[in-house]
Amino acid sequence: MYNTDMANVGSNVHRKDALEKLTGRALFIADQDIPGALFGVTVRSSIPRGRVRAVRFDPSFPWKEFVAASAKDIPGKNAVACIELDQPLLADGEIRHCMEPILLIAHERRERAYEALGHIEIEYEELPPVLDIEESAAMKAVVRAPDNIFKEFLIEKGELDAGFAQAAHVVEGEYRVPHQEQAYIEPNGAAAWFEKDGTLTVVGSVQCPYYVQKALKAAFDLPAEKVRVIQAVTGGAFGGKEDYPSVLAGHAALLALKARKPVRMLYDRAEDMASTTKRHPAIVRHRTGVDKEGRLLAQDIEVLMDGGAYLTLTSVVLSRGAIHAAGPYSCPNVRIRAKAFATNTPPNGAFRGFGAPQTLFAAELQMERIAEVLGMDPVEVRRRNAVVEGSVTATGQVLREGVAAREVLDLCAKRSDFARRRKAFDAWNKKAANPTWRGIGFALAYHGGGFTGGGEDYLASRAGVALDADGGVRVLAASTEMGQGAATIFSQMAADALGIPYEWVRVQTPDTFKVPDSGPTVASRTTMVVGRLVERAARELRAELEKSGSLPLISGGGARSGGKAVSRAKWNAAARKLLAGKPSREFITQYQRPPGIQWDDKTYKGDAYGTFAYAALAVELEVDKRTCEVRVLKVVTAEEIGRVIHPLLAEGQVIGGTAQGLGYALMENAVYRNGVMRNPHFTDYIIPTAVDVPPMEVLFIEKPYAYGGFGAKGVGELPMDVPAPAVCAALRQACGCWFTRLPVLPERIFAALPKKTGAVARRESLG
């Protein structure tokens, strides 16, 4: 049940964290005063695969000033515990990727610590590396026994052959997407120390404090009550601080153990970009059978992803990618074969969308191709196939409620004036004297909210609220504020569930000693899943206060019943009565699976997600005929995200995610040579600036989800799914070329244009 009597939910209250951030007072990990802390640095491998033969410390260097740590200093398992334990915390002889950590060095002064790196020499025995999906699939070398495959999924529905047999047309396509860097502006950083009682404390820029705790427990052989992980103000994450902080925290902690002092490690930009996780590169192949009217009859899809050297989160990235691979369409016969390969490159990990942007790029560009083969309007082809209530997805999930594919499609097509703009651009492109070619492109997607399949059951998240002696209410969740607005959203929900002003609610800084494990801050699950836990806990607290007789009953647990807010004095009196002298009382609730959800992990059939959110996007762009530069002119997007808890924050998520999607499409080019990123800087890995991002019109449709916090679905990842395919569709109209490989850089456009009609001809005519 969602509430319809809301004072804060649905309004643009001020962010809880705004004042600190706007006045420069917010303390990120680099800003915190940690007395006596040493600065730690990492010695990394310079080869992608091989063995360490010898490590030589320059004998003329004053090593006594330094602290060093290696794999043999690790008290527990030499592993970064994630899904598996395959990744060592420090390489112990064997090297599986460039930039693999081998040794750690600490010094009181940062510049001295960095200087030491130049006085260590590592001798390797090199082995032939496997550097990409194709080399790995061809078994150029076995880098993960027995077959280089981390994980494999098969999703089947209907009779594929029968579907193709009925098809009027069969359309094939291959799509390739590259690494993408999360490019949070604050690089990874963490500090660690051991308390006198042996408690390991870590403070860091982290998305998932309990993930870090889990990894530290294994590496340091400590029980949970001896590992405390506290989130520092986090300067962006986007998935990039989901699993990697476990590595960094382990390193800082190991140095702290050796040094018997606090140790802080802050990556600089180059180290962060070259060493930490990226979006998985992928090759996606489609073979699609359609009837004469453009209805999908058969989809045969192959998804290949590059996991990098260790598993980290790859199996779940692949899972989400595979489940989304058929797009938001209804098709009776589907086969999706997905594989993730091991390569000798730094592990790839989480990045907004988590596998789905890769496969949806392919699915959407494939729809464009189908439309062209049929000579149909691309929006209309989508409309005919878009899921509706009762549609069955590739995993056999019957979509029961909140289906909005057609609604977002229609709204976006209408507001972008898609059909008319397309015609106008066709006319523009016919005039040879115009300096640019123009195009408008469209894309449609859905994105599952929360963990895939039985994931939420497995997490069994807990979150809640505490009533404190001063009458304040404190939100208790491990879900982190990293810019997206979690602290604000939780406060709005708690306030409305309690019927009190937003200002009376505060949020406990995530700290594994103070908050329950509400699961990782990922998968568009925070507002939807954890918000629901906060809402339920707040309602329990309200019910307790009402039972005590000092607060009026409010019908349906709604806010400000009868339009009259409770006074702070009355509230405080009620709080005192309930607390009965105690400083605080916690109300914690646990995730309950919504009724009717079934998932079979063995057959990969069932309800992959509790619900899906929907997005459609239209983009207008122009291509300079001489330079082939692309200028994005305008974006219109319609997104259905359940109840919109905070319109301004939601819009911020959509615009920010769309900007990242435009970067993915047109700019962000991670260049890998010998298995390592060669352009790990903002100078040469280009992300969009204010000038590159066009004005965007964002439209929301609300179909409240009965089991989300106040009716919310997830919004974080959804906007990442649609920009890239829409851009490539627009480029098709503008240039007449299919761009099936990202990013579409000017030089790739130049190379793709027909020699006589393209930029070359134009350039010649200019002399």
Partner 1 sequence: MNKVSFTVNGKKRDYRGEPFKRLLDVLREDFRLTGVKEGCGEGECGACTVLLDGKPVNACIIAVCQVQGRAVETVESLGTPTRLHALQKAFLEEGGAQCGICTPGMLLAAAAHLREGGKTDEDSIRAALGGNLCRCTGYQHIVRSVQKAAELLRPRGRDCGARAAKSPRSARSSGRGKRDRS
Going through 501-646 in order, the beta strands assigned E by DSSP cover 505-507, 584-590, 599-600, 605-606, 612-624, 630-640
**Residue 625 DSSP symbol:** T
Please identify, among the stretches 45-53, 75-83, 176-184, 530-538, the one whose residues bind partner 1 according to the rule CB under 8 A. Answer: 176-184
Nearest to 306 by CA among 284, 273, 276: 284
Nearer to partner 1, 234 or 395 (CB): 234
Judge whether 537 and 464 are in contact, CB under 8 Å.
Answer: yes
Q: Which helix (H) or strand (E) holds 728?
A: helix 723-735
Beta bridge partners of 669: none
Please identify, among the stretches 280-288, 322-330, 524-532, 701-709, the one whose residues bind partner 1 according to the rule CB under 8 A. Answer: 701-709
Residue of 482, 538, 545, 718 interacting with partner 1 (CB under 8 A): 482
Judge whether 222 and 512 are in contact, CB under 8 Å.
Answer: no
Please identify, among the stretches 178-186, 380-388, 613-621, 746-754, the one whose residues bind partner 1 according to the rule CB under 8 A. Answer: 178-186
700 binds partner 1 (CB under 8 A): yes
Report in angstroms how near the CB of residue 698 gets to partner 1 at its nearest: 6
Judge whether 615 and 447 are in contact, CB under 8 Å.
Answer: yes
- β-pairing, 38-44 vs 263-266, is parallel
Nearer to partner 1, 341 or 664 (CB): 664
658 binds partner 1 (CB under 8 A): yes
Nearer to partner 1, 237 or 362 (CB): 237
Identify the sign of the CA torsion 670, 676, 679, 680: positive
Judge whether 405 and 614 are in contact, CB under 8 Å.
Answer: yes
Report in angstroms how near the CB of residue 703 gets to partner 1 at its nearest: 6
Residue of 1, 4, 19, 390 interacting with partner 1 (CB under 8 A): 19
Residue of 648, 706, 737, 761 interacting with partner 1 (CB under 8 A): 648
Q: At what angle do helices 378-385 and 405-415 cross, to 10 degrees?
A: 160
Report in angstroms how near the CB of residue 87 gets to partner 1 at its nearest: 26
Residue of 136, 213, 461, 484 interacting with partner 1 (CB under 8 A): 484
Which residues does 547 contact at the CB level (< 8 Å), separation at least 6? none
Report in angstroms how near the CB of residue 187 gets to partner 1 at its nearest: 7
Residues in binding contact with partner 1, number by CB under 8 A? 69
Please identify, among the stretches 44-52, 228-236, 285-293, 612-620, the one whose residues bind partner 1 according to the rule CB under 8 A. Answer: 228-236
331 binds partner 1 (CB under 8 A): no
503 binds partner 1 (CB under 8 A): no
Q: How far is it, in rounded angstroms, from Cα 294 to Cα 376?
A: 8
**Residue with structure tokens 């045969």?**
300
Nearer to partner 1, 242 or 651 (CB): 651
Q: What values do phi and psi take at 150, rounded to 5?
A: -75, -45
349 binds partner 1 (CB under 8 A): no
485 binds partner 1 (CB under 8 A): yes
Report in angstroms how near the CB of residue 105 gets to partner 1 at its nearest: 20
31 binds partner 1 (CB under 8 A): yes
The SS3 call for residue 440 is: strand
Residue 517 to residues 215, 239, 479, Cα–Cα distance (Å): 15, 18, 8
Residue of 687, 718, 726, 734 interacting with partner 1 (CB under 8 A): 687
Judge whether 665 and 443 are in contact, CB under 8 Å.
Answer: no
- The footprint of partner 1 (CB under 8 A) covers 12, 14-15, 17-28, 30-31, 182-187, 233-238, 268-269, 404, 407, 411, 415, 482-485, 644, 647-649, 651-652, 655-660, 681-683, 687-691, 693, 695-703
